[in-house]
Amino acid sequence: MRNDAYEALLAHARETAALESVAGRLSWDQETVMPRGAALQRGEEMAAMEGVLHSRRTDERVAEWLDAVQPEGAVAKAQVARVARAHSRATKVPAELAQEIARVTSVAQGIWAEARAADDVAAFLPTLAEVIRLKREEGAALAQGGDAYDALVDDYEPGMTGADIAAMFDAMRPRLVALRARLLGAARQPVALDGSFGAEAQLRLSRDVAAAFGYDFSRGRIDIAVHPFSSGSGQDVRITTRVSESDPFNCLYSTIHEVGHAAYEQSVDPDYLLTPIGQGVSMGVHESQSRIYENQLGRSAAFTGWLYAEMRDRFGAFGIGSAEGFYGAVNRVRPGFIRTEADEVHYNLHIMMRFDLERALMRGALEVADLEAAWNDRFLADFGVAVDRPSHGMLQDVHWSVGLFGYFPTYTLGNVYAGCLHKALRADLPDLDDRMARGDPSPATEWLREKVQRHGALMAPREVIEQACGFEPSPGPLLEYLEAKFGGIYGV
């Protein structure tokens, strides 16, 4: 290896990663504690930071180092490949465009939040139109004559295309729809949770649950946000949650979900800190961690049995008289409006709808002025329920306001990966439920840390899942898990 070129390349990449962490902290601050009146200034700050980052990613010396370096060993090759990928993508996007996207999406986030709170679509549409115009331009620059949406998807899941996603969704949809019909028509229907659950008590329990799932509070913290998220990597990984006093599951399972993301980042090999491979390899793999923590582990019969006892101790009686009934309440299937609150059966149908809409937006087949009607028509067709207000419809998610086009399908890809990981994990840990029933998921989280999380971006996304599972990932294990679990709960 040309050590001088490699060391120079890696030193430059480390500084870039450190600056990216600073930019990420600005975003965290904006969503948690920043005063509302600072939004326009924060937009300028984010644009300035993006200008610095873009200039570093496109630095002519990077190309020279890449030409000179001859990496040896898996780690060095992965480091160089990640730098080369980032450099290639960055050089296709003009600096002015990158900065404008950063500025507009920073400001757009606050406009979206206010429009959502007021159920005022008209207040958000001009800003959304500007975001979509910029993202179309970015997609076209990246695609260089190819499909702009594919180019955006590739940012979140390298190697995946819109056609790949559509084929996967087409294969999954019939079994999901058939399962939903059986469950909604079943004679046995779990009861819903009913009562009032104090916010402070919920947050205390959510902290205890986060610690049980391995979240390291010495390198993290939990705050409140409109839309829960995880931010950071390595030694500073922060999460947020939200609280509804009538729905403690919102807080608890949002927390577990974000802990899955955070545990991934906290568990990457510390030797990779602030290097190109020192973070999660893709959003699909990232979502596999958050979804398996939340669903296959957190919503399991064993863990909910422990959670039921904890909630009775902390909140008193709340109308559900058994751990079995509580397990049914946690996993109750219903066609609700909100994606983040959706049960496991409906969740992927929410994603499929968003995928089709955003793909049409990026291709120019759907315009912003027609988005609300398109959303409402599709939701009624897919879920059999009419959207009652915009905050339950097209204003519910933060993603489009901040330009995350191509992100949504990685949630379902993450579910697919999680189904595969869960199948392999259960084969390796036959006594897992004994520990889960005591509120201890550590055998599973340690398995995931060893098999997936510690590798960071050392391998390609599908490679890390295949190596962990011992078989090629596919939707089969997820669909089998859903049919078995919910068939048992509903007696069908």
Starting at the edge strand found earlier in the chain, the sheet holding 222-224 runs 222-224, 236-241, 230-233
The alpha carbon of 257 is separated from its chain's Cα centroid by a whole number of angstroms, namely 9
CA distance 415 to 288: 6
- Residue 50, CA distances (Å) to 105, 134, 375 in order: 12, 15, 32
Burial of 194: CB neighbours in 10 Å, binned 0-12, 13-18, 19+: exposed
Pairing of strands 222-224, 236-241: parallel
**Count of residues for the chain?**
492
Angle between helices 283-291 and 461-469 in degrees, nearest 10: 40
Phi, psi of 285 (to 5 degrees): -70, -40
Pairing mode of beta strands 236-241, 230-233: antiparallel
Q: CA-based Rg of the chain, rounded to a whole angstrom?
A: 22
The Cα 172–Cα 170 span in angstroms is: 6
Distance CA 131, CA 91 (A): 21
Apex 364 CA angle, 361 and 368, nearest 5 = 50
Token digits for 209?
């649950």
Residues noted as catalytic: 258
Burial of 435 (0-12, 13-18, 19+ CB in 10 A): middle
Query: Does an H or E element contain 232, and which?
Result: strand 230-233
Is 124 within 8 Å of 112 (Cβ atoms)? yes
Residue type, 189: Q
Cα separation, 202 vs 245, in Å, equals 8
Helix H or strand E encompassing 312: helix 301-315
Q: Rounded to whole angstroms, how far apart are CA atoms 299 and 104? A: 38
User: Tokens 């007021």 identify what position?
Assistant: 118
Q: 341 — phi, psi (to 5°)? A: -105, 5
What residues contact residue 278 under an 8 Å CB cut-off, 6+ apart? 17, 233, 234, 268, 269, 272, 456, 457
Q: What are phi and psi of 237, to 5 degrees?
A: -125, 110
